[in-house]
Amino acid sequence: MLYVKEGGVLLKLDDWEQIYSRPNYVQDLDLKGKNLKALIGYYKNEPPRTCGIKSCHATHMKGGIVVTEDDLETCIGHICGSKIFKEKFDVLIQQIEKEVDFEIYKEAVATRKSRLFDYWRQAADLTSGTTGILRLAEKIALLRDPLSVGRFASMELIRMAANQNSKVAKEEWVQKEEKELTEEEKKDGKPKYKLEYLIVGQIRHVDLMLSSNDMKKLYQEEIEEVLRALQNLDLDKASKRQITSIGRAASAIEVRITRAKELKERAIEFLTRENLFPLYEKMLPMDTVSKNDLSLYENFINSLK
Ligand SMILES: [Zn+2]
């Protein structure tokens, strides 16, 4: 992007010819003995530009349009300018870069603001119906609550999520085979047992129990709140600070919506009786699981489809 300052106003130019055709512009400027008068333009985020300094002519990723004290203009790279004109150039380029960044923010905010209708429609899709993201989040909140689904199930699911382990294993005493018996064990001829962990099933998307995947927070704070701020923002009256802070959040809005959609789809698969059943199967024979814990979890999974 190329920006030029005209009468104190920063303008975005689409065509470099507008620079090259200026009457005082020099493609090949010998800067020996010349001093910097002003910086009237700035460029970055575009194909590298050829440096106008006679002794350089390399291409640079970013830089500025300078005016020398004898009123000659050329385009020079950021580092070249800093080397030749030292601190004066550094101060000026930092100033204009800040202004350019703010213009870029403003543009991004304006673009997002013009798409608000579409964003709100997507937000409505996310929240509507029985599988709306907030309802799903509520159910996951219940699963995190020992009073709602019992202490065992709640802790077990959170533990599985933290360990990134979706497999449900239960302990079972199984009879040892003949070849596993020691000489000592063989003596009385009675069956001998060993404790084994048997995989009874898998709970898919158990990572949704993690607070980093909190759908309610994601929707309310990073989507709804941002859209509302964008809607209430008056671009002509807003302060730089307002535009910068809303711009930052708004630039991530599409990514947030995509993430919310993905979490919602996974939550629908997570919150089914069939998916959560293996944990019930594990709890059923356990003496350490109270009747109350078992029935709370059973009621919860039976309330699902
Ligand atoms: Zn250069």
Report pLDDT for 42.
97
Distance 62 CA to ligand 1 centre (A): 10
Nearest to 99 by CA among 156, 23, 40: 40
Q: Is 132 exposed, middle or buried (0-12, 13-18, 19+ CB in 10 A)?
A: middle
pTM of the prediction? 0.75
Spatial distance between the Cα atoms of 94 and 190, rounded to a whole number of angstroms: 86
Q: What is the pLDDT of residue 305?
A: 84
Residues whose beta carbons lie less than 5 angstroms from ion ligand 1: 51, 56, 77, 80
Contact 144, 154 (CB under 8 A): yes
Q: How far apart are CA 148 and CA 140, in angstroms?
A: 11
pLDDT at 129: 93
Q: What pLDDT score does 276 carry? A: 98
Ligand 1 mean position, distance from CA 76 (Å): 6
The tens digit of pLDDT for each residue in 230-263 reads: 999 998 899 988 998 898 888 899 999 999 999 9
CA dihedral 214, 220, 226, 231 (to 10 degrees): 160
Position 68 scores a pLDDT of 96
In angstroms, what is the span from residue 28 Cα to ligand 1's centroid? 11
The predicted pLDDT at position 104 comes to 85
Instruction: Give residue 54 CA to ligand 1 midpoint distance, Å.
Output: 9
Q: How far is the CA of 53 from the centre of ligand 1 (A)?
A: 6
Distance 3 CA to ligand 1 centre (A): 19
Spacing of C-alpha 191 from chain mean position: 58
Output the pLDDT for position 56.
Answer: 95
pLDDT at 228: 97
pLDDT at residue 172, as a whole number: 83
Q: What does the pLDDT read at residue 94?
A: 96
Q: How far away, in angstroms, is 78 Cα from ligand 1 center?
A: 8
Below-50 pLDDT ranges, the chain: none
Determine the pLDDT at residue 2.
Answer: 95
Q: What is the pLDDT of residue 178?
A: 87
CA 89, 239, 243 angle in degrees (round to 5)? 85
